[in-house]
Structure 1
Amino acid sequence: MAFSKRKWVLLPIGILFFLGLTYWIIGRIQYRLNVMDVEEYEPVSTLKVPEHLLTHSKFPFIDVHNHQWVMPVQNLSKIIAEMDSLNMGVMVNLSGFRGKYLEWSLDNVKDHYPNRFVVFLNINFEKLDDEGWPNETLKMMEEAVKQGVRGLKVYKGLGLTDKDNNGKRIAIDDPRLDPIWAKCGELGIPVLIHSGEPNSFWKPKDKYNERWLELKQEPDRYRDPKVIPPFEQIMNEQHNVFRKHPETKFIDAHLGWYGNDLEQLGKLFDELPNVYTELGAVLAELSRQPKTARAFMIKYQDRVMMGKDTYKKEEYYTYFRVLETDDEYFNYYRKRHAHWKMYGLALPDSVLKKVYYQNALKVIPGIDKSLFEK
């Protein structure tokens, strides 16, 4: 019995020691052979060029794409201090949700900083087969706007994973949703809509996929073409909604996932004057093509807004540097989004003002203009 106890104590210790030793030996072999994972490779550039490191924007800005998940109980003073340091005039919280959560978020804003935050509503589209659809949802939208909501945020689940009561995928241009889009136009509020994903998420996860690292680190982002409709179909469904509802203003999130094909995005703008976009999480697409992107931003200066997506104060610095300077060959803040280097666009002041705040003032109602136009 004593031997048995000793065996069962020493056996796992021995296994762990063996595995640790094996891991150490493999590491030494890789070091000797100069083998490393792409995630480890972080070369320090020896390039000597002018640098303009910015920690606040040249002009005050409206972040039209942000998520504050605990706004009902959030200490807004802390984030206001960070906003002030960045020169952010207004933050749009797209994650207002609905019901009591929305009510509490709006109350927190009204009680503390009513002119610094804008809150958007979120709808559960999977209720479209329930009794009372769409009238109950339309009434909820009307009440939300009366309470202070300034827009509707549509998450990517619509078109990808949302299903009706029969288990069928809900297409973005499903006619059962038409009353929602029309109501937004009637209420004078924009729809910020995230549809689909980067095209590469549908591609094979191999050495030719420039999003390979992101799919390795975030495997749930892969879109199996056997299960999910193709990228082109998702985009067409979204664009059909834009076409069908010309009286509603749509903010097509993330450059509409055409940051790598600005010519296509330009064609969309040329066709549909009710469509705008923003820069959330896709800045790296512009800054790897500085000549093309600068020309695009100047040509379509009335259609693009400042947006960040995930909130982290220091990451805004890269946005300022790309938009305002002509710096060359500098790092993005998230390697899985961009394993390439950034180049500044040096946008003219007149364009910067439109991207930073003027376009948002035209599209999103109820923002205090005095914060921007002294």
Structure 2
Amino acid sequence: MTQSKFVLVCTLLSLGALIAVQVGQNQLIPTIDGKAYYQLEDFSKVKKFDIHIHINTEETFFIEQAQADNFQFLDIIDDRPFGLPMDGQQKIAMLHLKNFSKNMAVATTFPVKDWGSDDWMENTITGLEKSFLDGAIAVKIWKNIGMDLRDGNGKFVMVDDIRLDPILDFLVANNIPLLGHNGEPRDCWLPLDEMTFSQDYYGSHPEYHMYLHPEYPSYQDQIDARDHMLEKHPDLIFMGAHLGSLEWSLDELAKRLDKFSNMYVDLTRLSNLKLHTFNNRKKTRAFFIKYQDRLIYGTDSSINSSTSPSEFKKDINDRWVSEWKFYVTDEKINLENFGELKGLKLPIDVVDKIYSKNAIRLLGLQNW
């Protein structure tokens, strides 16, 4: 080997060692563009965060699997009219937080059952302050505002209602992020035969199929109200759940991310992201690269006491690994009723952001 070739080889080997130190012990795949990529087998080695979890049981089997798979997570409390009541969700969340504070964080919420009362605002802020003292670090606002709650005149209360402004101002003043599930997927307002993924659900639950209820606010009404809320509160740190209910269009989602600098979205409607990739992988991958600082991994998993612990552990592990495959490899993936697509194979720095760093920044968990 000539001296010049020897120097070149040593330089490349040194550079490779430097990259390995920067990302830990994960095996890297060198590519011609000079970027490094995770492999499928790196899944359990990489520290990850699932920002959309609902724990409805005191049992710890989900947390055990999260630990095994190197996941931290946000447990979210909802003001929902079904399942475990809000107070029960809060009690369970705080129990787990006490025992697993290095593994999880908690997003609280507020009830709207006394919306019309004179002391609702004062009681709501008092309740939030207590939740923060107990350890909550974010607030969830649910789709019941916009799709269920009505004022004394029978008019739907939307998320940009002026009576919510003091709550949002309080969050801004205390640097508390708001998570918003506003409206539903656009499929909810479409006929069954025009839906992309939701035919089975809305076919079985016509009471939630907004196409059959034109007297309710429209899909655009929900999006407009959410956007108006953000316009009124530009300093509000906000994460739109379920791709901000803009799952059907990366272009529409990009418009909001461009307009609202403090807006993030979670990636919980993966079927839509796979469809975007199936239709135009290059565009979808470019979207992830461009908005890598604003996208946060999540699954919207619900953990209930009736679930078989061993079966659930396998199911959530399978799901986490499958979704990791979509983001970090370019292997073939089947999208039911559509066909095969290739995974996005995002660079390590992008994966680290959507799987951990963005969640930690959004939630203010800088010491994690």
Q: Percent identity?
A: 26
Matched, 1:293 2:284: yes
Matches within 5 A, 1:175-214: 175-206=162-193, 208-210=194-196, 211-214=198-201
Q: Contact 1:122–1:152 (CA<8 Å) still a contact in 2?
A: yes
TM-score, with structure 1 as normaliser: 0.75
Aligned twin of 1:305 = 296
Q: Contact conserved, 2:327 with 2:351, CA < 8 A, in 1? A: yes
Contact 2:110–2:127 (8 Å) recurs in 1: no
Return the offset for 1:203: 1.2
The verdict on how the C-alpha distance between 1:179 and 1:317 changes in structure 2, with shifts beyond 3 A counting, is same
Q: SS of the counterpart of 1:119?
A: strand
Structure 2 residue 238 is matched with structure 1 residue 246: no
- Match of 2:342, SS? coil
Instruction: Classify 1:193/1:220 alpha carbon distance in 2 versus 1 (closer, same or farther; 3 Å).
Output: same
Deviations 1:47-81 (A, max 9, x none): xxxxx8669356211111111123xxx132x2232
Query: Contact (CA 8 Å) 1:287, 1:293: kept in 2 or not?
Result: no
8 Å contact kept, 2:142–2:182: yes
Q: Which residue of 1 aligns with 2:128?
A: 141
On the 8 A contact 1:106/1:147 being kept in 2, the answer is: no
- Secondary structure of the residue aligned to 1:127 is coil
**Considering only CA atoms, is the larger Rg found in Structure 1 or Structure 2?**
1
Q: Which residue of 2 aligns with 1:326?
A: 330
Distance 1:244 1:232 in 2: 18
Distance 1:96 1:170 in 2: 17
Deviations 1:223-282 (A, max 9, x none): 1352222111110000111111112101001111222211111111111101100111x1
Matched, 1:230 2:218: yes
Q: 1:232 to 1:269 in 2, by over 3 A?
A: same
Report whether the alignment pairs 1:93 with 2:75: yes
Select which of 43, 58, 64 maps to 1:81: 64
RMSD: 2.4
Gaps of 5+ in 2: 1-38, 80-84, 303-314
**Change in CA separation of 1:276 and 1:197 when aligned onto 2, cut-off 3 Å:** same
Structure 2: which amino acid aligns with 1:317? V
Mapped to 2, the partners of 1:343 and 1:194 lie a distance apart of: 29
Separation of aligned partners in 2, 1:265 and 1:319: 21
How many equivalent pairs are there?
Answer: 306
Structure 1 position 166 matched with structure 2 position 165: no
Match for residue 277 of structure 1 among 260, 265, 268: 265
